[in-house]
Every structure is written in C-alpha cells, then in structure tokens.
Amino acid sequence: MEKLNNTLLYTIDKCFRSYHQFAQKNVKQAGYEITIDQWLILKSIHENPDFSQNDIGKILFKDNASITRIIQLLVKAGYLNRKEHPEDRRRVQLSLTPKGIKITEEVHLIALENRANALKDVNPEHLQELKQMLDQIIKNCTE
C-alpha cells in the first residue's frame, strides 16, 4: 500500500494544522483571548458589513451550525452585536462592537507576521502558482 506521506490530503492536512497551531499560539502569546476561527468570522464581517451568517459560512467554508455557535461566543465576548434584519426577519444583522473592531485589526497585524514567518524561504514567484493550484483543487472538490 502506498505510503501515507505520499498522499496529498495528508500534506495539505499537516500544513493546515501546523500553520493553524502556529498562528493560534502566536495570537495567544500576544495576549489575545480569541481563536483563529472566531477572528476569521469577525474579519469577514468587518470586510463585508452586509453579510448574513449564510454568507460567512460560504466564504469560510463552514457549516451554518458552526457559524451560529461561534457567533454566540463572539456576542458573549462583547465583540459582536446581533439584531434582527430590518428587511428580512429570517436573517440576523451583524456588526462589530468597538472592542470587536479593535481586536480584529490588532490580530490582523499578528496574522501578517505569521504569514511572513510561515513563508520564509518560499520562492515568492512560486507563491502565485501555489495559490492557483490550491484554487484548482478547491474547484475540483466543490463542483
């Protein structure tokens, strides 16, 4: 049987895990009490103030149930406001609190450092190719 470490899923999996752990550790060490997943949700709302939970789920590739629960924690932590959407009562309208904006932007700086460190000695010309290949794989897996 073919060896584990030859399979692509294995390498992507490991890369994702190591990067995620690395990023989370650095956020924590900088003194922030937030998970990467929570931050990604805040960031997506910050960039797209009209987003529904559904929209967030789509761009982050998360299940709606996960979004619901993470958002509950973000509201509880004082980073996010939830209210009924004025035009569609099925939806909720999300907005960052000042505290939420602050942590989103501050953690973003750490995220930039993380990326720079993670990409050390990676040929920047190849980076675009890397992204294209990953996007092609995403496309193949979701069509």
Partner DNA sequence: GGTCAATAGTTGATATATCAACTATATTTT
Partner DNA sequence: AAAATATAGTTGATATATCAACTATTGACC
**Which residues are at the interface with DNA (CB under 7 A)?**
17, 20-21, 24-25, 28, 35, 37-38, 52-55, 62-71, 73, 85, 88-92
Hey, what are 21's tokens? 């752990």
Q: How far is the CB of 124 from DNA (least distance, A)?
A: 27
- Is 30 a residue that touches a copy of itself (CB under 8 A)? no
Question: CA 109 to CA 15: how far, in whole Å?
Answer: 21
130 binds, among a copy of itself, DNA, none (CB under 5 to 8 A by kind): a copy of itself
83 contacts which partner out of a copy of itself, DNA, none, CB within 5 to 8 A by kind? none
Which of 97, 98, 108 has the alpha carbon at shortest distance from 32? Answer: 108
What are phi and psi for residue 92, nearest 5 degrees?
-115, 150
C-alpha 100/C-alpha 78 separation (Å) is 7
- Residue 19 near a copy of itself by CB under 8 A: yes
What character string, x for contact with a copy of itself (CB under 8 A) and - otherwise, covers 98-127?
------xx--x--xx-xx-xxxxxxx--xx
Sign of CA dihedral 72, 76, 77, 79: positive
* Cα 39 from chain centre: 7
**Residue 65: what residue type?**
A
Interacting residues toward a copy of itself by CB under 8 A: 1-5, 7-23, 36, 40, 43-44, 46-47, 59-62, 104-105, 108, 111-112, 114-115, 117-123, 126-127, 129-131, 133-138, 140-142
